[in-house]
Structure 1
């Protein structure tokens, strides 16, 4: 660039800086900004009923988690009808309900972000070795209240991969082992309740 171009750029920068300075300062008659400070003080504290000297709140304002305010929480696993569609002639359909037990509270339907079918890969001995799934694996329809449905599943042996967003889990059977199931052509397979545990 030529020296004249530099001079023009420098003049523009100085002019813009001056304009911003004038616009930002405002007039000298503006009132200074005020700040409102709010101080919250705790409510009244009552002495402990047992005379231990430790203060206790006037009332118990803490509810247990998730507590009775959760309308879907029940003493028994949810009894929801799962409408599993009929598959094509060469395929099967699979469905069930994901449930979480809240210790000491009850049961609640659990709808994860995604449930995928994972194909069982067998060892040379013919025993199930591991579950394999990918982005191309079949994903369940999740209509809510814990229901999951797979339609037109190719025959084979499968497990379930449950994606909660913060972790992925394998569905387990009642013995705590990885749940494996066989799908046959023309079959409608209701897996019932699938209990999901995060611990």
Structure 2
């Protein structure tokens, strides 16, 4: 499952750990896609697994058998070949053979959290100055970090989707189709050791 101990990033560790150490607590805030997010709509992969695929990239062995050809007479006149739903379109030219599909890494979690560092440090400082309880400070940190990750995901444009994917989605944002992945980004404040997440 993909989620991270917020203070696990090297660029955040020293600054945040120094502030949190003064609070003497064994609690942790995690930010990411937690187990509770469940599966994607198709059921082929968990939401956390999809997030990990985007974060690190993947190599998918496709069995082949996807139809391709001209979707219409006008497309044939333009020699515009596309994937087709089986039995649909103007003219099928063939079906794909087994092949590998490379999904490029599009890191969204680590840079999203790292970008929240100034706001996180300000929130910790303000919470300590106001004598807020540790749980309240960590909740604030989690809300800020998860919010910044979602903003980062919304603004991400590279590596770009293939032109065929953009046509299918109607959008050039590589991480957002209907927004389910972004909506799955949450935070949790826990007292137990982190058992899910990056190894």
Alignment TM-score, normalising by the size of structure 2: 0.24
Structure with greater proportional strand content: 1
TM-score, normalization: structure 1? 0.24
Higher relative contact order (CA 8 A, sep 6+): 2
State which structure, 1 or 2, has the greater radius of gyration over its C-alpha atoms: 1
